[in-house]
A and B are shown apart, each in its own frame.
Chain A
Amino acid sequence: MSATAVGFGDSRAARFWNATIGKKIVMAASGAVLFLFVVAHLLGNLQVFLGAEHFNAYARLLRVEPALLWAARLGLLTMVVLHVWASFQLLLLNKMEARPVGYVKKKNIGSSYASRTMYWSGPIIAAFVIYHLMQFTLGIGGTPFEEGKAYENLVAGFQVIPISIFYLIAMAMLMTHLFHGVWSAFQTLGVNHPRYTPMLRTLAKLIAIALFLGFASIPVGVMTGIVHT
């Protein structure tokens, strides 16, 4: 068997991790933290519509205490590593091992498109995050960058149309990822109720769409000239 095979180690943590449900619980919990980060990130970013001064002040505020900044960064990085690591192991199990011979004909009759494409939307979001950090944190994304001038960097970055379009695609992927991910995390953690789960699934979609519209408004705002230097 593979990396996901039961390698019955001695510790309880190892055994939790070795069970497929254990990995899923890790994915749900790390996904929940990342989801909350995304919501907070959007709320922060929307301040771009308040003008350069306000936005740059917000950017500076985030960096006031380097120790806190790095704690947050390492915490998020840990969540990303856990989320990706678990999903990658499960991907190998599910797609490479669990069904060695596929069907000649197979119809999907009960699942949503978003739920079946988590393994596509996930990696695209990951690629986006890497570029996003290169562009606006490290300043090596190929667009004009000046330390401490978040607003100007953002406007210059999004004036490059292909980059803005890539951002929009990535945000659409994030939306589909959350269509399924938000309610699925509850299911994995053991919360399912005939009254609340349908509401939760609708709510998950609404939140995902709201996040998409929120994030998309920024590159669109730059491209249409509403946000400018």
Chain B
Amino acid sequence: MNLTLHIWRQKNASSPGKMVRYEVKDVNPEMSVLEMLDVLNEELTLKGEDPVTFEHDCREGICGCCGFMINGVAHGPQAATTTCQLTMRHFKDGDELFLEPWRAKAFPIVKDLMVDRSALDRIIAAGGYVSAPTGSPQDANAILIAKENADLAMDAAACIGCGACVAACPNAAAALFTGAKISHLGLLPQGQPERVERALNMVAQLTVEGFGSCTNIGECEAVCPKQIHIEVISRMNADFRAASRKSRKEPYQDPSEFRRWSFGLKS
């Protein structure tokens, strides 16, 4: 099958970018979208042109590296599928594909289709962890967890941090991502000791990073390759509300600290 691609080309964060048109011939329907770009890049390299930069790693839908907009939908038209797992058989001969990077102030473009998603890492650093002392392992059944909560926590933990939720959100909010992380830990006994501070700090970090605010419209869950439900956002809202009331810390941690840490400015 032959396709026309319109790809966002941008040299680096500071230079202006534009859509560039490419024709790709004899696309094998068994290839993934990324493999199709690999083929295009080989051609470009042979012609002495700059290949298209896109992020990828596992290519099996579990690492969260890949992802760009395909015809206006994050990760393309197939539900519950990352870009690397999306095969070309979902397109037909003569299709025109518009490939654009995730767009958000919090995701500066690195090059072409690749953005810097370290804002998500800083949200995790602000509280998406449990402080567990290491030592000899305890008995597996020492902490009881209701099956339902274990399942819900697992569903939330399926988030691979790809950033599609931010890209699809008309407000460029990272509510689904942060909600997933807060839910995943908040549903488990190990997450309870830091639950209050976690909600306050992670939510504060969202604002510092320049993400927008959630309007509960559901574009995020529609594109999430892991089908995370916006129920996690309401869980985050509930935790934030409870934490705002309960927290005894005054003032709570300044999230800009994390930013300094992240940029290596803090020892």
Interface, chain A (partner B; CB < 8 A): 1, 4-6, 8, 10, 12, 15-16, 18-25, 90, 93-95, 97-112, 115-116, 118, 180, 183-184, 186-194, 197
Within 8 Å by CB of B172, from A23, A98, A116, A188, lies A98
Q: Are A188 and B222 in contact (CB under 8 A)?
A: no
Q: Are B213 and A115 in contact (CB under 8 A)?
A: no
For this complex, 30 residue pairs linking A to B, each with C-beta atoms less than 8 Å apart, are A4-B213, A5-B207, A12-B244, A16-B244, A20-B173, A20-B211, A20-B212, A21-B236, A25-B237, A93-B171, A97-B212, A98-B104, A99-B104, A102-B103, A103-B69, A104-B6, A105-B69, A108-B170, A109-B73, A110-B223, A111-B222, A115-B215, A187-B233, A187-B237, A188-B234, A189-B234, A190-B234, A190-B238, A191-B238, A194-B231
CA distance A95 to B106 in the complex (A): 14
Q: Mark B224-261, 1 if CB is under 8 A from A, else 0.
A: 00000111011111111100100100111011000000
Complex: chain A residue closest to B10, CB-CB:
A101
- Most chain-A CB neighbours within 10 Å: which of B69, B168, B171? B171
Complex: chain A residue closest to B170, CB-CB:
A116
Known: A98-B106, A103-B103. A188 touches B237 (CB 8 A): yes
Within 8 Å by CB of B250, from A12, A20, A24, lies A12
CA distance A101 to B15 in the complex (A): 13
Q: Does B217 belong to the interface (CB within 8 Å)?
A: yes
Closest 4 CB pairs of A and B: A190-B238, A110-B222, A98-B212, A20-B213
Within 8 Å by CB of A1, from B100, B104, B210, B254, lies B210
Q: Are B219 and A110 in contact (CB under 8 A)?
A: yes
Q: Does B40 belong to the interface (CB within 8 Å)?
A: no
CA distance A22 to B220 in the complex (A): 21
Known: A94-B212, A103-B103. A112 touches B234 (CB 8 A): no
Could you tell me the distance in whole angstroms from the C-beta of A183 to the nearest C-beta in chain B?
8
Number of interface residues of B (CB under 8 A): 56
Q: Does B89 belong to the interface (CB within 8 Å)?
A: no
Q: Are B216 and A98 in contact (CB under 8 A)?
A: no
Within 8 Å by CB of B73, from A99, A100, A107, lies A107
CA distance A189 to B237 in the complex (A): 6
Q: Are B212 and A99 in contact (CB under 8 A)?
A: yes
Q: Does B218 belong to the interface (CB within 8 Å)?
A: yes
Known: A99-B172, A109-B73. A188 touches B216 (CB 8 A): yes
Q: Are A8 and B218 in contact (CB under 8 A)?
A: no
Q: Does B150 belong to the interface (CB within 8 Å)?
A: no
- Most chain-A CB neighbours within 10 Å: which of B230, B239, B240, B247? B240
Q: Does B206 belong to the interface (CB within 8 Å)?
A: yes
* Inter-chain contacts of A21 with B (CB < 8 A): 203, 213-214, 236-237, 240-241
Q: Does B177 belong to the interface (CB within 8 Å)?
A: no
CA distance A103 to B71 in the complex (A): 10
CA distance A118 to B217 in the complex (A): 10
Q: Are B214 and A24 in contact (CB under 8 A)?
A: yes
Within 8 Å by CB of A97, from B105, B244, B250, lies B105
CA distance A105 to B68 in the complex (A): 12
Within 8 Å by CB of B234, from A116, A180, A191, lies A191
Q: Does B72 belong to the interface (CB within 8 Å)?
A: yes
* Inter-chain contacts of B223 with A (CB < 8 A): 109-110
